[in-house]
Chains A and B, each alone.
Chain A
């Protein structure tokens, strides 16, 4: 072996090692700078998918309020995802100080399965721990070319509905229940509701996994004639993707969608953040919190603020899952559990198509 060459090669090798080590060293040091600036108190709000814009504003307001009130600096971290997936993450150990979900069942599971939230959580904040509500509406193409005015129009042949999968998405569950419940609310029977839902599901070409996925399908990929989604999400779509491209249709009756909140007792007791966590959720009911909710097109729970923004929220008959369908537990067992009405209807349609 040529010794000169070998030496040169080994020098090159050494240079490489040094280079590699330096790069890795920089990689290790970089985050250290970030860690140096730790804040006084930190809480984590684990929330559902489409609440991010609201909580971005709300957190800034709360941090300011808390600082003025107590002089303490607080940082609110956010985590967003599908409501049920988020609940599962908290069950799995994601240390949320507060959870803000879009249906009761996703907090109930934390209380029942994980014993992380006290059983009486619904009674611990005003309005059964629901600071704001919304409803399911239809978003249609500009000028409403398919003349979709109410639920019955959605079930007509030749209409394509876009909505997320009720198995994986709270948004999808509300949409499905809205379609089912409107039959009952208008005096129909369970049998008629099932008949309607079959024609309705038949018109859904694909189920997206989450709310935002369905929005993308409808708005950006331009698939379907109607998107079923939350009223607050509709205003955001119009703002972000063009108000002149879509019309909003308020059906004659629809479901009242609730966004319940809870303190995760097990976590706040361990981390010593109970005071802040409770104040954080209480502030949702303050005038400022309610105004922010209205600004993001959530219907405020406080009558005073709701009246102020009444023009923004067209009146339609809203019914709640608790009143009409016997609560979430029953609704989930009947409709979304394996072999529930959703599965039954879906299988029937699949067989028919074959």
Chain B
């Protein structure tokens, strides 16, 4: 939105400022915001890569040749590839239920979804230790049947699931609520089955919003530290995820490798952000394209 508007009358032009602040104030605020971002976001980001490349490109590459580093990368990818689809399915189901149907306790349900955002991730981890730990509620039974939950892959996936539950659902619920259910009702009237309605009407409508939620969910799944740290057991090459591996390397005075793995996480985040803005862009333009058609 332009701050100034040119008024033309009888051949004369006045420039009228719509904002009353002095330009100095405006530029001051912009400079402040930029300075803030530079100090707290940009410089640390650059520092991550600078530290990682301190010993040159070869030193950087060598950091990833380590077996434990590779195992950590694999584990992070595996945990995310399990947690994200599960939470996507759950997110769609719950958003569908909440936005298309009326039932008692709906508000309670929506509130419950938000618990992982409100609870500290460390608590989330401890809950699982309490449940599945050897001294926990289910621990003795699990141990008898030789089922490993915590300090193994299932625990890590569970912890990741817990902290990423809200992302897809939170993204979809307001969107699906604003869409209403007329289109679904029309489809049902025309003889579509429930599944057909979902695949051909609902899913195409929510796809961008869904993708957006999935991206956020994935970013969090890969970056989670606290909850996973509690249930991991920190076994090198086995139950250490990337964020945990970064901490280990740093504590071993191996700053270059620590920052190299950190830079990989950072790159993942940047790719995620890029994907997010592309989706956002699509999302808006599709909305804009469809809007006039709907009003016909």
Which A residues fall within an 8 A CB radius of B?
Answer: 1-2, 5-6, 9-10, 13, 16, 20, 24, 27-28, 30-31, 34, 44, 46, 49, 52-53, 77-81, 89, 91-95, 113-114, 212, 236, 240-241, 270
B74 near A34: Cβ-Cβ < 8 Å: yes
**CA of A44 to CA of B84 in the docked complex: distance in angstroms?**
30
* B residues 15-64 in Cβ contact with A at 8 Å: none
Q: Are A91 and B134 interface neighbours, CB within 8 A?
A: yes
Number of interface residues of B (CB under 8 A): 43
In contact, A53 and B252 (Cβ under 8 angstroms): yes
* B235-A34 in contact (CB<8A): no
Chain B residues near A46 (CB-CB < 8 A): 233
* Cβ-neighbour of B207 out of A6, A13, A91, A113 (below 8 A): A13
Q: Contact between B151 and A31 (Cβ–Cβ < 8 Å)?
A: no
Q: Which residues of B contact A44 (CB under 8 A)?
A: 235
Jot down 21 A-B pairs with beta carbons below 8 A, ordered by A: A9-B204, A10-B204, A27-B78, A27-B80, A31-B74, A31-B75, A31-B77, A77-B238, A79-B233, A89-B234, A92-B136, A92-B139, A92-B150, A93-B134, A93-B142, A93-B148, A94-B150, A94-B235, A95-B151, A236-B253, A241-B253
Interface residues of B (CB under 8 A from A): 70-71, 74-75, 77-78, 80-82, 84-85, 129, 132-136, 139, 142-143, 146, 148, 150-151, 203-204, 207, 211, 214, 233-238, 248, 251-253, 286, 289-290, 293
Q: Which chain B residues border A270 with CB–CB below 8 Å?
A: 146
Question: CA–CA, A53 to B84, complex, Å?
Answer: 36
Bound state CA distance, A9 and B129, in angstroms?
A: 46
Q: CA separation between A78 and B233, bound complex, in Å? A: 10
B233–A89 contact, CB under 8 A? yes
CB distance from A79 to the nearest CB of B (A): 5
Kindly list chain B residues whose C-beta atoms are within 8 Å of the C-beta of A95. Answer: 148, 151
Cβ-defined contact, A79 with B236, below 8 A: yes
Neighbouring B residues of A28 by C-beta, 8 Å: 78, 81-82
Task: Give the CA-CA distance A24 to B77 in the complex, in Å.
Answer: 9
What's the least CB distance linking A139 to chain B, in Å? 15
